[in-house]
């Protein structure tokens, strides 16, 4: 009995000495992450809240300047935005689409953008915090976020041999985001694997 009491006493001392458990480390809130707008013109770093305060659902397309699949995907997206019906619907809704470049070298991004006219806001995730928080592993990746920055769905990879089909898929995706309807599944021919995507750095 004496030994049992001694053991209990030691345990009580250990619990007291360690005190309260340490709080869990929380990931950085998406709303506070700062990115750099680089198109249509370079600006100072801003938070997502400053960029998308009026948005409902947000579509972020993560690409790399060193990834040929990112280039092919962006060409399909440019073609999608030439759809008059899509542009008309986009004008009636506050949903936001932006292209987000990952990578540490702005010169590579500028060279990538040279002589290219992209039909939307272009951002630079210089710190990598945004891609890391959304667990972006492949470029290109399209991430759809709710207004409270919850990841609704992500679409990884691109098939360069099916640019027309990807354009049609992207049009369906944007219409669903704008109209607030169910998001389409990623077509099987674009599922990640083989040569449909690059690592985050290209």
Q: Hey, which residues does 154 pair with through a beta bridge?
A: 143
Which pLDDT belongs to residue 188? Answer: 66
Which pLDDT belongs to residue 63? Answer: 96
Pairs from 169-175 (Cβ < 8 Å, separation ≥ 24):
170/76, 170/77, 170/80, 170/142, 171/80, 171/83, 171/86, 173/59, 173/142, 173/144, 174/59, 174/80, 174/86, 174/90, 174/97, 175/86, 175/89
Which pLDDT belongs to residue 34? Answer: 92
- Both tokens of residue 153? 């769905």
Averaged pLDDT in 10-residue chunks for the chain of 202 residues: 48 40 50 88 86 79 93 91 71 74 90 83 94 94 90 84 86 89 78 64 60
Q: Would you list the domain boundaries of the chain?
A: 28-190
Which pLDDT belongs to residue 147? Answer: 82
Record the pTM: 0.79
Q: CATH assignment of 28-190? A: 3.40.30.10
| Three-state secondary structure call for residue 177 | helix
């Amino acid at each position: 009995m004496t030994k049992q009491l001694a053991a209990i006493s030691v345990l009580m001392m250990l619990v007291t000495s360690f005190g309260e458990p340490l709080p869990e480390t929380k990931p950085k809130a998406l709303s506070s992450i700062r990115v750099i707008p680089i198109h249509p013109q370079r600006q100072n770093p801003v938070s997502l809240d400053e960029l998308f305060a009026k948005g409902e659902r947000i579509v972020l397309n993560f690409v790399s300047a060193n990834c040929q699949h990112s280039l092919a995907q962006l060409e399909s997206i440019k073609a999608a935005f030439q759809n008059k019906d899509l542009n008309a619907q986009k004008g009636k809704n506050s949903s936001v689409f932006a292209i987000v470049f990952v990578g540490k070298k702005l010169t590579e991004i500028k060279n990538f953008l040279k002589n290219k006219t992209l039909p939307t806001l272009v951002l630079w995730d210089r710190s990598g915090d945004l891609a890391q928080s959304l667990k972006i592993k492949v470029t290109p990746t399209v991430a759809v976020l709710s207004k409270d920055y919850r990841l609704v769905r992500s679409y990884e990879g691109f098939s360069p041999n099916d640019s027309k089909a990807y354009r049609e898929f992207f049009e369906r995706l944007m219409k669903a985001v704008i109209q607030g309807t169910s998001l389409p599944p990623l077509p099987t021919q674009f599922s990640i694997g083989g040569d449909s995507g690059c690592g985050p750095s290209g």
